[in-house]
Amino acid sequence: MLPLQRRLAILAGVLLVVVGCVPVSSAQVRQPNIVMIVGDDMGYADIGVHGSKDIPTPHIDALAKGGVRFTDAYVTGPHCSPTRAGLLTGRYQQRFGHEVNMGADAGPNGGLPPSERTMADRLKAAGYRTALFGKWHLGSAAHLHPMSRGFDEFYGFLGGDHSYFESTENGTNPLYDGRDRVEASGYLTDVLTDRAVTFIKLEKSRPFFLYLAYNAVHTPMHAPEKYLARFSGIGDEQRRTYAAMMSAMDDGIGRVVAALRDEGLEENTLIFFFSDNGGPIMPGTTINGSTNTPLRGSKRQTWEGGIRVPFMIRWRGRLPEGKIDSRPIIQLDVLPTVLAAAGVEPKVEWKLDGVNLLPYLSGKRQDAPHEALYWRLFGHMAIRKGPWKLVKTMEGPLLVADTTSPDLSGAQLFNLANDVGEQHDLAATNTGKVKELTDDWLRWNKEMAKPLWGPGAGGRGRGGE
């Protein structure tokens, strides 16, 4: 008879062979969770890693230090609804006419067209449990409701803004739990965080997609005393309230990440954080006390202050930590990146404009994800190609313009590599570059659809900005 140690060694070898022949269990190859956190109307300068001195944001900063922070990250819409339409489809929203917030002429069916499939649709089909907590702003008709667009769960509001303290079932802009109107209790930023944490704890055993769309720091300017007390040294009342609202959102983000850590999900969760547009500092917008330094311009403009946003991606153990990337990206890239992480192969007929960022994040690709990025918002336009940016924008309300025959006369040219503040117009001395970018933008513009609705009275559209 063989010695015990010898028999155990043989048995161990047999087990290794057997285990090697057995398919890996679903638990071992579980798809990563996706957590997408979006702030609303944040100023570019108002987080610690971007130089903020008066508003500490330790939890947002921790996402940046634990992942990849993009310095040149953009959104396709310089205000709320268009950005969200592009985000959830991975396509320039102008391709399907969702150019601006829903205006008065959008009608009761105004919103993300039913012909477009959302990120939630794609992930739900791949076996994910999907939830949206917070701001929708893509239509209020029943067939446009989040739970008609791929989300299994929804708690939040359908319009563009909402009180942080008050909500009644019979109000003009109610809160919804699923499809039911509900009366809220508590500070809305905290309530949304509570729902996100509960969702994580309940769904920890299967892959989930959590879209946490805070309305912070969008107007109205509401903050509870416990957050206001942190900023007693800020004399300007609006800035103080804004700081308190930012701090509440930052605390919420910390609680969400802590919930992932507590449930052992941190290394199997891909996290995104960014803002839906730049801070509103221009008269005529819903000014909230934000700052976009050193960027020029505001929400609803195509200068950098309206379209460049804080943006970070973290996947612990899978992506670099503390990396700063200056290559231009855009929120359209989130969908293809998420699909790649989930093992979903996009189809050609989906006609996605975004790019899977995982090879760029991991270092497998060193080139730029995009040759050029484009913007169109009635009379506003821009194109960025390398460091060069051609832009035409304006102060004041949005003006209805003929998008089929756009007027690019007077467009300004900037080299963002050494003029991020867009102070030195180089158009007169670089006519060849102006023509190149003009031709590129016009070629792209021909592929876009006519807007489905106009900008509404004063350019604000229905349901806030």
**If pLDDT is split at 50, 70 and 90, which confidence band does 450 have?**
very high
First-to-final CA distance of the chain? 82
**Tokens standing for residue 151:** 């989300």
- HSE (CB half, 13 Å, CA atoms) of 339? 23
Q: How far is CA 315 from CA 34, 295, 358, in A?
A: 10, 29, 10
- From CA 419, how far away is CA 413, in angstroms rounded? 11
Q: What average pLDDT does the segment 389-403 reach? A: 84
What is the DSSP track for 35-48? EEEEESS--TT-SG
Q: What percent of the chain has pLDDT over 70?
A: 91
Nearest to 378 by CA among 94, 83, 107, 86: 94
Stretch 392-400: mean pLDDT, rounded? 82
> Other CB atoms closer than 10 Å to residue 126's CB: what's the count?
15
Q: What is the mean pLDDT of residues 265-282?
A: 97
Q: Which residue's structure tokens are 């893509």?
A: 138
**What is the arithmetic mean of pLDDT over 154-171?**
88
Q: For position 120, what pLDDT does the model report? A: 98
Mean pLDDT of 21-34: 61
User: How confident is the model over 313-369, as pLDDT tens digits?
Assistant: 999 999 999 999 999 999 999 999 999 999 999 999 999 999 999 999 999 999 999
Average the pLDDT over 298-308 and give the result.
97
Q: Given this model, what pLDDT does residue 456 score?
A: 66
- As annotated, the active-site residues are 80, 137
Rounded to the nearest integer, the mean pLDDT of the chain is 91
Residue 464 Ramachandran class (φ > 0 left, ψ -120 to 50 alpha, else beta): left
Q: What is the pLDDT of residues 187-231, one digit of tens each?
A: 999 999 999 999 999 999 999 999 999 999 999 999 999 999 999
Report the pLDDT value the prediction gives residue 108, as an integer from 0 to 100. 86
Position 292 scores a pLDDT of 98
| Nearest-angstrom CA–CA distance, 91 and 188 | 30
Residue 404, pLDDT above cutoff 90: no
The fraction of the chain above a pLDDT of 90, given in percent, is 83
Q: What are the distances in angstroms from CA 132 to CA 40, 213, 310?
A: 15, 7, 21
CATH level 3 topology of 33-362: Alkaline Phosphatase, subunit A (3.40.720)
pLDDT at residue 14 in the model: 36
DSSP 255: H
Quote the CA–CA distance of 335 and 394 in Å, as a whole number.
Answer: 31
Mean pLDDT of all residues in 233-252? 98
Name the CATH topology of 373-459: Arylsulfatase, C-terminal domain (3.30.1120)
Q: How much is the average pLDDT of 294-302?
A: 97
Task: Decide if pLDDT at 23 tops 60.
Answer: no
Mean pLDDT computed over 119-131: 98
Residue 91 has pLDDT above 50, yes or no: yes
* pLDDT, mean of residues 415-440: 98
Instruction: Give the strand pairing for 373-377 and 269-275.
Output: unpaired
Instruction: Report the DSSP beta bridge partners of residue 37.
Output: 212, 273
Residues 6+ apart with CB under 8 A from 228: 240, 241, 244
Write down the domain spans for the chain. 33-362, 373-459
Query: pLDDT-based confidence at 18, cuts 50/70/90?
Result: very low
pTM here?
0.92
* Amino acid code (one letter) for 455: P
